Structures are given as structure tokens and as C-alpha cells.
Amino acid sequence: MAKAPVNVRVYYVLPCCLLLLNLVNATIGYQAGRFEDPWVRTLVVIGLVLFGSSLVAFVVAPGLEFFIRWLHRTSRAQAGGLGEALFLIALGAGVFWLYYQLVNHGIESLLPLNWRHV
């Protein structure tokens, strides 16, 4: 019984979080282009990537895992694994859509207007 949430975390949630972290890293790299000095640009990228990876490892991944376990517990009592399955499908579709935008339209398509370089 305890294997299912672990498998979901290892094989689905963690890779989705890593893909989201990669999107954050693409945004950081794009925004770091505003700094002219290569030393400052490198320090900013390293600092923000360390912060972003810590945020994903200690906040986002455990939060998603907790939410999936809650859905699993709640949906098992009410409708089987339907709630968990729908959440995982929505998570995968959301990550796919973000990557589709990144690959086909560039990082600018995912950023607010005031974050874009002019």
C-alpha cells in the first residue's frame, strides 16, 4: 500500500518538478541577460538557480506529494483513484503546455510583459 505514493513521487511528481525547475532556469538565464558584467551575470544565475532548486526540493515537491496523498486518501473513500488520476493528468498537461510554449514560442511567451526585454 505505501509503495503507490512513493512510486508516484519518484516516477511522476519529481520529474514534473524538475521540468518546472528547468523552466525557472530558462527564465533566470533570460533575465540574467540584462546584466552587462559577466561576473555579476554569473553570480546572479548561480544564486537564483540555487534558490530555485532549493525551493523546488523543499517546498514544491513536498507540497505536490502532500496534495497527491491527500487526494489519494480522499478519493479512495469517495470515488476510487479518480481525483488523484485527474490531478496527475492536469499536472502533466500543464507541464506539457508550458514546455510547448517554451520550445515553440520562446521564454518570452511565458513571461509577463514587464519582465520581457525591450
Model confidence at 33: pLDDT above 80: yes
Q: Could you tell me the residue ranges of all domains in the chain?
A: 8-111
What would the grid cell of residue 99 be? 514546455
Spatial CB neighbours of 5, under 8 Å, sequence gap ≥ 6: 65, 68, 69, 72
Burial 24-60 (b: 16+ CB within 10 A, else e): beebbebbbeeeeeeeebeebbeebbeebeeebeeeb
pLDDT tens for 61-104 read 788 778 777 766 766 566 556 766 777 788 889 889 999 999 99
What was the pLDDT predicted at 101?
Answer: 94
- Nearest C-alpha neighbor of 72 from the set 56, 53, 85: 85
Tell me what percent of the chain is helix, strand and coil, each rounded to the nearest 5: 85, 0, 10
Q: pTM here?
A: 0.71
Reported confidence tier of residue 1, pLDDT bands at 50, 70, 90:
very low
